[in-house]
Structure 1
């Protein structure tokens, strides 16, 4: 359970850092529009901190950590969520700086962010399937 609480804490700290960076970076650059930077904070809080608090509760009362799908979930999900957050930050920084990106560079950012979202989604499905397996036992 402690491992999952530590993961939750790491995501909470990253979320707060993302929120502070968003506020200060946009303020420093005089940017008042909508940017992907504003989404980093909520993605990390909900998909990171909140989910791992839920995982900790299940792990404390079940044999969840013994499930093979759960172990795969941990790897896939903990690659997907940070990758998504980093690419949201990259996109947001380019928006705030009003950087003109080539079509290829813009597509690359979107594509890598898409891979992060896919890994996150696959991870969520693996987590739910893990819960279903332990519910049958």
Structure 2
């Protein structure tokens, strides 16, 4: 549970910092205000997919003890790899746009891989949540697993 807390906190810092970078980098390079760059998308991806989603998962972990499922560890690492990869490509592509340089297809391909990882992570999260919902209710209320299993068979 602490890992989720620290990850959400880290994404909050990265999200705010990326917004600051977006504002200052575009000003520094006289980028026309209102013209599209993917730097703004990095800010919202980090705050929404990183900070807010992981806070929601933290609450789900507290209520359902999702980490009892082996799928939860897979979710955590695959999902975070996807968020980091996607956000990094948004920052790279957005920076190139501000500097007036072409981005190329490689960045889009890598960003697409990041989105695939985020999607795979979400599927794993829902599988872990589904398993947690099928466990006997007493298991999610802090009762030892053996006792909870006996109650479920009761």
In the TM superposition, residue 74 of structure 1 has moved relative to its aligned partner by 0.7
Structure 1 length as normaliser, TM-score? 0.93
Partner of 2:29: 29
Alignment of 1:62-81 (within 5 A): 62-81=64-83
Corresponding residue for residue 150 of structure 2 = none
Distance 2:46 2:93 in 1: 16
Distance 1:62 1:38 in 2: 34
* Rounded Cα–Cα distance in structure 2 between residues aligned with 1:121 and 1:55: 15
- Report SS of the residue matched to 1:58: helix
- 5+ residue gaps, structure 1, are none
Q: Kindly provide the CA deviation profile for residues 83-125 of structure 1, in whole angstroms up to 9, marking residues without a partner as x.
A: 0000000100110001135xxxx11111101100100111111
5+ residue gaps, structure 2, are 136-154
Instruction: Select the structure with the greater relative contact order (CA < 8 A; seq sep ≥ 6).
Output: 1
Q: Deviations over 1:49-82 (max 9, x none)?
A: 0111111111112221111111110110111000
Between the aligned partners of 2:56 and 2:102, the Cα distance in structure 1 is 41
RMSD value, Cα = 1.0
Return the alpha-carbon distance in structure 2 between the equivalents of residues 100 and 5 of structure 1: 38
Q: How many residues align?
A: 133
